[in-house]
Amino acid sequence: MAEQPLVEAWETARDKRMRPLQVPGHKYRYSRPDPALDSPELAALVRDDISLQGGADDNYLRSKVLERAEALWSASVGADHSRFLVGGSSQGNIASFTAIGGPDVQVAVDRTSHRSALAGLVVSGAMPVWVYPRIHPDLGLPLGLGPGSLDGLSPAVTAVFATTPSYVGTIADVAALSGSAHAEGRVLIVDQAWGAHLGFMPGRGAVELGADIVTTSVHKALMGYSQTAVTSVRGPRVNAERLDRAVDLTATTSPSATLLASIDATRAVMETHGPVALERAIASVAQMRVRLRKVPGLVVVDELELDQPCDPLKLTLWLPRTGVNGSVLAEALWQRGNGVETADTDSIVVTMSMLDEPDFCREVADMLAAVIEAQRGPARVPAPAALWHVVPDVVVSPREAYFAERRRVPLASAIGEVSAEQFCPYPPGVPLLGPGERVTAQIVEDITQAGRIGRVAYCGDPSLQTIEILA
């Protein structure tokens, strides 16, 4: 197995059977607690928890195992500098904006980005200039920013924030985006939350393709603990010290070495077994597509269908011609114990990984085909999800709106007002309305409709009856 310094430090700490006179409060002994505190559940939950500071490393972090593990990640994906995160790609996105932003900075941001981009705008104070991915004319799904998406930007825009792969697995041409951004003297930030595996595929990772800052979730396409992510920087355009400061601004001072070591272990596994395991998983998912393409009316959203790069591990199915409603299909799958990544009326999105064996992939494809047959109905008119199509009327910056005086009014009577909060169908976590944007009749309808289908998150009134507007 490849070198894995943080994993080794974690194992050493575990084997030492420490009796610390410091945190963590569970003292590494919860598995044999005082009977008065007995909780087998808690014992199982904290059994493997070892802190970084005063655990896998000393209080002064003198052994520098975390830095060594981060350097090994950088070497693997071709970055100059990387930081391990336990606050997910959300933390990485917020840190990326903070590393390049400030209240006077304008950033072109893909409007189909995750809500953490909005959080990055609030924290940094940067002003978004929203840019829009190409949308498939029939399927209504985002295809990713193209270089044309950046046409006509003011020279005052100093950075571009792109999300690729998208939630539905479509992949933007990062080499072209970085070429056009750099030609205009701009920094390219890529939210590659869904594409950590691409970083281990030659010629596919955003770092290798020229992005300046890339954030990737290790817990999504790869095998890290929930919450784990990495932000990497490459090239001369972003000051790595600024990124460090931004990561430190947004990070806990008590990270779990267990979570961090799972990033190190994932990288070591990918270096040792990644090529073979990825090839097998990609072939299995390709077979799933072949099987599902035989289902009458079903559109398998992939490279063959779209004639552009797509995530080989994401399976997005477009359903209107089968008459099946994606949300109803997803509910049936959830009841069977097969939760899917996201669903709306027209589509469902399935995430496969290297841990899904070929037999399981075959079973899933057969099962999906059978459930779609069971729910089949007459072909219906597509009802594309509104969140891929929002073109907001920005009145003030997200930060100004976030900190402004606000008042709560009925949603229906807020038309024409400026929102102080965000409304975000989750999943996929792409905002329909953000702070500082004008409330329109269309947006009110879209929010209400999204609430009928699923959960609209991050607004103060989950019943969606009211909204906070700028006072």
Ligand X SMILES: Cc1ncc(COP(=O)(O)O)c(C=O)c1O
Q: Which residues bind ligand X (CB under 6 A)?
A: 88-90, 93, 114, 116, 163, 167, 191, 193-194, 217, 229, 428-429
For the bound state, the minimum distance from the C-beta of residue 315 to ligand X, rounded and expressed in Å, comes to 16
Query: Between residues 324 and 340, which has the closer beta carbon with respect to ligand X?
Result: 340
3-state secondary structure the chain: CCCCHHHHHHHHHHHHCCCCCCCCCCCCCCCCCCHHHCCHHHHHHHCCCCECECCCECCCCCCCHHHHHHHHHHHHHCCCEEEEECCHHHHHHHHHHHHHCCCCCEEEEECCCCHHHHHHHHHHCCEEEEECCEECCCCCCEEECCHHHHCCCCCCEEEEEEECCCCCCECCCHHHHHHHHHHCCCEEEEECCCCHHHHHCCCCCCCCCCCCEEEEECCCCCCCCCCCEEEEECCCCCCHHHHHHHHHHHCCCCCEHHHHHHHHHHHHHHHHHHHHHHHHHHHHHHHHHHHHHCCCCCEEECHHHHCCCECCCEEEEECHHHCCCHHHHHHHHHHCCCCCCEECCCEEEEECCCCCCHHHHHHHHHHHHHHHHHHCCCCCCCCCCHHHCCCCCECCCHHHHHHCCEEEEEHHHCCCCEECCCEEECCCCCCCECCCEECCHHHHHHHHHHHHHCCEECCCCCCCCEEEEEC
Query: Between residues 231 and 345, which has the closer beta carbon with respect to ligand X?
Result: 231
Query: Between residues 174 and 469, which has the closer beta carbon with respect to ligand X?
Result: 174
For the bound state, the minimum distance from the C-beta of residue 70 to ligand X, rounded and expressed in Å, comes to 17
For the bound state, the minimum distance from the C-beta of residue 163 to ligand X, rounded and expressed in Å, comes to 5
For the bound state, the minimum distance from the C-beta of residue 89 to ligand X, rounded and expressed in Å, comes to 3
For the bound state, the minimum distance from the C-beta of residue 96 to ligand X, rounded and expressed in Å, comes to 11
Query: Between residues 10 and 167, which has the closer beta carbon with respect to ligand X?
Result: 167
Query: Between residues 90 and 124, which has the closer beta carbon with respect to ligand X?
Result: 90
Query: Between residues 120 and 140, which has the closer beta carbon with respect to ligand X?
Result: 120
For the bound state, the minimum distance from the C-beta of residue 217 to ligand X, rounded and expressed in Å, comes to 4
Query: Between residues 114 and 314, which has the closer beta carbon with respect to ligand X?
Result: 114
Query: Between residues 116 and 149, which has the closer beta carbon with respect to ligand X?
Result: 116
- CB-nearest residue to ligand X: 88
For the bound state, the minimum distance from the C-beta of residue 28 to ligand X, rounded and expressed in Å, comes to 27
For the bound state, the minimum distance from the C-beta of residue 222 to ligand X, rounded and expressed in Å, comes to 12
